[in-house]
Amino acid sequence: MLRVQSPEGTRRVDVDNVTVTRELFEKVLNTFGNIGYSFALYCKRDKSQEIVSSNAKTMASYGLQHGDMIYLSPIAGAVQHGEQDASVLKVKNGVSTASSTTFLPSTSSMHGSKIPIRSNVEEDQVDVFLQKMDGTVKRKRDPKNCLHGENSSCIHCLPLEPYDASYLKELNVKHMSFHAYLRKLSSGLDGGKYANLDNISCRIKPGCTGHPPWPKGVCSKCQPKAITLNSQAYRHVDNVVFENPNLVEQFLHYWRVTGRQRIGFLYGRFDIHLDVPLGIKGIVAAIYEPPQESTRDSVRLLLPDNRQSVVDRVAAKLGLQCIGWIFTDLVAEDVSKGTVRHFRNAETHFLSAQECIMAGNFQSLHPNPCRLSSDGYFGSKFVTVCVTGDSQNQVHMEGYQVSNQCQALVRDECLVPTKDAPELAYARQSTAEKYIPDVYYKVLEELGRS
């Protein structure tokens, strides 16, 4: 038994004296759950005796004894070259084959970030543009507090970071943009070296050989972590606009004529949103209404939709993609005045549990490609637009996205809606067929304590 000390903590691995060092690297990688950065192993804390991954050298050649401590150290900015030994690439990159993925060092476009980057992920064009932008908020010289000349600067006029809390509060922005969040991750002394974007999983990790499979056994290595619901600090899309108001008018025409609700898919593109630091906005160019059956209070999509693939191909040729979905929840109040009821607010709900589950399902079907995630994707840019009545009883649109936590809970089939309380969802219980992690939430007291 060897102890492995790393930035993620200390773990244990079991090896024999005749075990080759390549197997040691693989066992360390599996023990730490496929860490997303390149690393090296050393016999001593001062990194004076490196353990080289090889099919020839054994544990005995390094003089390691039962209970000894070895040290895992990340390799900052290491580049894995194709001419290296394939077994070394497999261990250091944490992938199944040497040619599928490599981790590249940070570049100037990431502004000093040391977060590992996957080279084979094709990100959206707007993400590539935002990565190259400076992102800081420029400030003019303050005539009252700035005592320097025009070509100098001080704390009163230095540019602000895009995640500055006080500046976002002035703009009335509750959630920072996703790229501002990435800058915040890489703003520390370590440059985001240990900040990985890991997708939440509510499933038991496969391949655990230390016990029988669920429901006969589960351990801390394969068991998913309990989830405590928190407000997400960032959002992937900051604004949704329509190129032409006639798009919405044509979509609402069905409800005005029949009084029945309607669902449509939004096709458009993503662009830079200048009103939020490093923000992204979705620009809707068309609405596709799939086959559906609707009543005055419900809509059911008729799946599968054979025309969906044709619509996607036509949209792609026009430079468009499916960026979200839109639905109506309108009840006429006074037909002569054209007013509608206002029933979605902080006292009731903004989105029902059923709508949140549907939004989470759509977001899972449209993941956001991201080079900074070990999976190659993180979150989603897929938006939800609800057409309902506002406080002045006028037809009003609101845009939403569910959090990555909700998206994971929906994807792994942990949530179901409730019958009598549309604002509440029910977390399933574990069964013999499926393990469901515990889901917790916080309640603020009157004094603000959780």
Q: What gap in Å lies between CA 198 and CA 91, rounded to an integer?
A: 19
Helix (H, G, I), strand (E, B) or coil at 362: helix
Cis (ω within 30 of 0) for the bond into 277? Answer: no
Is a pLDDT exceeding 50 seen at residue 256? Answer: yes
31 inside domain: yes
* Predicted confidence (pLDDT) at residue 89 exceeds the cutoff of 70: no
Tell the residue number behind the tokens 């900040």, with chain if given.
Answer: 195
**Is the pLDDT score of 402 beyond 50?**
yes
Domain boundary among 74, 95, 112: 74
Tokens 């089939």 appear where?
Answer: 413
Place of tokens 């001062």: 46
For 146-158, the pLDDT digits (tens) are 888 777 888 888 8
Q: How far apart are CA 213 and CA 130, in angstroms?
A: 45
Q: Which residue has the tokens 């005995």?
A: 60
Mean pLDDT computed over 329-355: 90
Q: Residue 88: what pLDDT? A: 32
Rounded average pLDDT over 336-340? 88
Q: Residue 334: how many CB atoms within 10 A of its CB?
A: 10
pLDDT at 281: 95
What pLDDT is stored for residue 271 in this prediction? 95
Q: What is the pTM of this model?
A: 0.71
Tell me which DSSP letter residue 366 carries.
S
Domain end: 74, 95, 122, which one?
74
Grade residue 77 by pLDDT with cuts at 50, 70 and 90: very low
- Check residue 365 and give its pLDDT: 94
Average pLDDT over residues 204-224: 85
Residue 386 located in a structural domain:
yes
pLDDT tens column, 355-396: 999 999 999 999 999 988 888 899 999 999 999 999 999 999
List all residues 6 or more positions away from 382 whose beta carbon is below 8 Å from its beta carbon: 322, 323, 324, 325, 359, 362, 363, 365, 366, 401
Tell which wins on pLDDT, 107 or 121: 121
Q: What CA–CA distance (Å, rounded) separates 208 from 223?
A: 10
pLDDT of residue 290: 94
pLDDT, the chain, mean: 83
CATH code for position 22: 3.10.20.90
Specify the pLDDT at position 100: 34
Q: Name the most confidently modeled range: 141-150, 223-232, 440-449.
A: 223-232
For 251-288, the DSSP string reads HHHHHHHH----EEEEEEEEEEETTSTTEEEEEEEEEE
Domain extent at residue 380: 229-441
- In this prediction, residues 175-189 reach a mean pLDDT of 86
Listed residues 52, 74, 96: the one ending a domain = 74
Q: What is the mean pLDDT of residues 42-55?
A: 81
**Rounded distance, CA 69 to CA 64, Å?**
9
SS3 368: strand
* Spatial separation of the C-alpha atoms in residues 178 and 76, rounded to whole Å: 24
Share of the chain above pLDDT 70, in %: 86
Going by their DSSP bridges, the two strands 117-118 and 234-235 should be labelled as: unpaired
pLDDT for residue 414: 92
pLDDT mean over 324-331? 94
Return the pLDDT at 236: 95
Residue 279 has pLDDT above 60, yes or no: yes
Domain assignment present for residue 406? The answer is yes
pLDDT for residue 93 = 32
Residue 300: φ, ψ to 5°: -130, 120
Using pLDDT thresholds of 50, 70 and 90, give the confidence band for residue 189: low
Whether 29 maps to a domain, the answer reads: yes
Report yes or no on 318 lying in a domain.
yes
Residue 439 sits at the vertex; the CA angle it makes with 438 and 444, to the nearest 5 degrees, is: 135
Q: What is the CATH number of the domain that holds 369?
A: 3.40.140.10
Listing DSSP states for 163-179 in one string gives T-HHHHHHTT-SSEEHH
Give me the mean pLDDT over the 345-359 stretch: 92
Answer whether 385's CB lies under 8 Å from 325's CB. Answer: yes
**pLDDT at position 106 over 50:** no
Pairwise CA distance, residues 334 & 374, whole Å:
54
pLDDT of residue 114 exceeding 70 = no
Domain assignment present for 188: no
Q: Would you state the structure tokens that stand for residue 304, as one six-digit string? A: 């599968």
165 inside domain: no
Q: What is the mean pLDDT of residues 183-201?
A: 75
Other residues' Cβ atoms within 10 Å of the Cβ of residue 442: 10
Which of the four pLDDT bands, split at 50, 70 and 90, describes residue 248? Answer: very high
State residue 107's pLDDT score. Answer: 36
> What is the reported pLDDT for 109?
40
Question: What is the per-residue pLDDT for 86?
Answer: 30
**pLDDT tens by residue, 120-135:** 788 999 999 998 888 8
Per-residue pLDDT, averaged over 395-418, amounts to: 93
On whether residue 158 sits in a domain, the answer given is no
Checking if the pLDDT of 20 tops 70, the result is yes
The answer for residues whose C-beta is within 8 angstroms of residue 98's C-beta and 6 or more apart is 82, 86, 89, 90
For residue 174 the two structure tokens come to 């509750």
pLDDT computed for residue 193 by the predictor: 60
DSSP string, 105-139: PP-GGGTT--S-EETT----HHHHHHHHS---B--
Residues near 268 by beta carbon (within 8 Å), at least 6 away in sequence: 243, 282, 283, 284, 285, 286, 320, 321, 323
Number of domains, the chain: 2
CA 257 to chain centre: 40
Q: Which residue has the tokens 């996205």?
A: 401
Between 14 and 110, residue with greater pLDDT: 14
Please give the backbone phi and psi of residue 374, each rounded to the nearest 5 degrees, phi first: -65, -25
